[in-house]
């Protein structure tokens, strides 16, 4: 039996988005994006200048205006060190305000951030920095000079070089401005919080992962406050005044084993995002009982899909606990293989957030990105309503 490809049209049942239009290449896209991340954030900075943009739990806080000024000075420092448009710059800062200033400093300098976790061993750090061709590394003290802001980037230019290790090797994924801005827009639409000023507590975020970066930037573009912490001291979470809690289900479940959720926490948290988790039905029930007033969303994404792509709707959390969700934000899915017609095969994805390919790996790119589709390598099943279930441990035909 020959292989076939079966497409599953994007569903508007849960996450219909009227801003999407289908382009000539067949992809769903947002019709009115800013051309670059720097221009998108510039709008937010001028609109919410006096609001707190980023704060560390029990630590430093910075307003939008202050963040922009610091990032522009870092950009100036990078230019003084010879960083040119399109140069890759490694961001090797611990989680905190300075990480955000470093990341945005690279963006404003016209460079391409390469996220590096300081906790990685020296060998992996060296591999990523060498493979990316990073011309400078932002670690410890940040360079500062006369403010500089480059706003000439276009939607097709690389905005981020994110590394994945899923293939067993160090592999860079090229993400464009359109990829990043589309993913941010899809998350903002999914949240539906408006611009009143949410407080999003990101617990121990892996800021070398693009999904965490998208969560952070999505908070900033709507004038919210991103609260960063690596602390698992639960009582400090509630004192933060957060109404959005972004972490993993494992972190939450471990915390609940030793700490009860306060009445304030039960009432105040309006949204819990544990994307990338694989909570079973029993765990999902525990989390929902602990946070009854919150909407619960578990999502799925790969570095190649800009960290997002599928999400399990709140109302389906228990009834479809074995699913990683349905496509949203212009993402579309398909199955490929001998059993695709029967709803099983390799999961394929396409959409505005899907990367254009791998950094300096043309053969690997040609194999994984074909006909507009990204071949995930994951074996999956998709039901008639579009719910995707990853069937781990099964060979992809």
| Structure confidence at residue 58 (pLDDT) | 81
pLDDT of residue 147: 97
Quick one: three-class SS letters along 304-361? HHCCCCEEECHHHCCCCCCCCEEECCCCEEEEEECCHHHCEEEEEEECCCCCCEECCC
The pLDDT of residue 24: 87
Helix spans in the chain (H): 37-47, 64-80, 97-108, 122-132, 177-191, 210-221, 234-239, 249-258, 263-268, 281-290, 362-368
How would you write the pLDDT of the chain (397 residues) with one tens digit per residue? Answer: 456 899 987 666 777 777 888 988 889 999 889 999 999 999 999 999 999 999 998 889 999 999 999 999 999 999 999 999 999 999 999 999 999 999 999 999 999 999 999 999 999 999 999 999 999 999 989 999 999 999 878 999 999 999 998 766 899 999 999 999 999 999 999 888 888 889 999 998 889 899 999 999 999 999 999 999 988 777 788 888 898 999 888 888 888 887 777 676 677 788 888 865 556 677 888 888 888 888 988 889 999 999 999 998 888 888 888 899 999 999 999 999 999 999 999 999 999 999 999 999 999 999 999 999 999 999 999 998 899 999 864 444 4
CA angle centred on 298, ends 296 and 304, rounded to 5°: 150
pLDDT for position 167:
62
* pLDDT on residue 199: 95
Residue 146 in tokens: 């006369």
- State the Cα–Cα distance between residues 113 and 158, nearest whole angstrom: 10
Closest CA to 335 of 350, 322, 321: 350
Q: How far apart are CA 192 and CA 222, in angstroms?
A: 10
271 in Cβ contact with 294 (< 8 Å): yes
Q: Which pLDDT score, from 0 to 100, does residue 275 have?
A: 64
What is the full DSSP assignment across 210-257?
HHHHHHHHHHHHTT-EEEEE----HHHHHHTT-SEEE--HHHHHHHHH
C-alpha 304, offset from chain centre: 11
C-alpha 130: how far from its chain's center?
24
**Which residues partner with 334 through β-bridges?**
7, 348
């Amino acid at each position: 039996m020959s292989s076939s490809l079966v497409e599953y049209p994007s569903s508007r049942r849960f996450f219909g988005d009227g801003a999407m239009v289908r382009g000539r290449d067949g992809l769903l896209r947002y019709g009115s994006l800013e051309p670059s991340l720097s221009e998108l954030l510039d709008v937010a900075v001028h609109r919410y200048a006096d609001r707190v943009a980023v704060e560390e739990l029990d630590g430093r806080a910075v307003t939008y205006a202050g963040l922009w000024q610091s990032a522009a000075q870092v950009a100036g420092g990078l230019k003084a060190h010879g960083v040119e448009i399109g140069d890759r710059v490694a961001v090797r800062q611990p989680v905190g305000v300075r990480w955000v200033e470093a990341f945005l400093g690279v963006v404003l300098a016209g460079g391409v951030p390469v996220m590096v976790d300081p906790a990685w061993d020296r060998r992996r750090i060296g591999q990523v920095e060498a493979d990316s061709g990073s011309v400078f590394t932002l670690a410890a003290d940040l360079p500062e000079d006369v403010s500089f802001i480059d706003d000439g980037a276009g939607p097709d230019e690389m905005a981020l070089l994110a590394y994945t290790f899923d293939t067993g090797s160090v592999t860079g994924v090229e993400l464009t401005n359109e990829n990043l801005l589309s993913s941010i827009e899809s998350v903002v639409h999914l949240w539906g919080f408006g611009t009143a000023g949410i407080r999003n507590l990101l617990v121990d975020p892996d800021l070398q992962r693009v999904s965490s970066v998208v969560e952070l930037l999505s908070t900033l573009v709507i004038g919210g406050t991103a609260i960063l912490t690596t602390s698992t001291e639960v009582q400090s979470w509630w004192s933060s005044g957060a109404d959005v809690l972004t972490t993993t289900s494992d972190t939450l479940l471990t915390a609940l084993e030793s700490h009860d959720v306060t009445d304030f926490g039960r009432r105040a948290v309006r949204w819990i995002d544990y994307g990338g988790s694989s909570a079973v039905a029993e765990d999902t029930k525990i989390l929902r009982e602990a946070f009854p007033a919150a909407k619960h969303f578990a999502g799925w994404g790969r570095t190649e899909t800009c960290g997002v792509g599928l999400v399990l709707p709140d109302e389906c959390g228990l009834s479809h606990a074995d699913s990683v969700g349905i496509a949203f934000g212009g993402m579309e899915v398909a199955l490929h293989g001998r059993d695709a017609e029967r709803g099983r095969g390799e999961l394929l994805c396409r959409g505005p957030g899907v990367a254009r390919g791998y950094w300096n790996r043309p053969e690997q790119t040609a194999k994984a990105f074909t006909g507009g589709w990204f071949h995930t390598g994951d074996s999956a099943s998709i039901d008639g309503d579009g719910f995707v279930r990853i069937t781990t441990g099964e060979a992809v035909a």
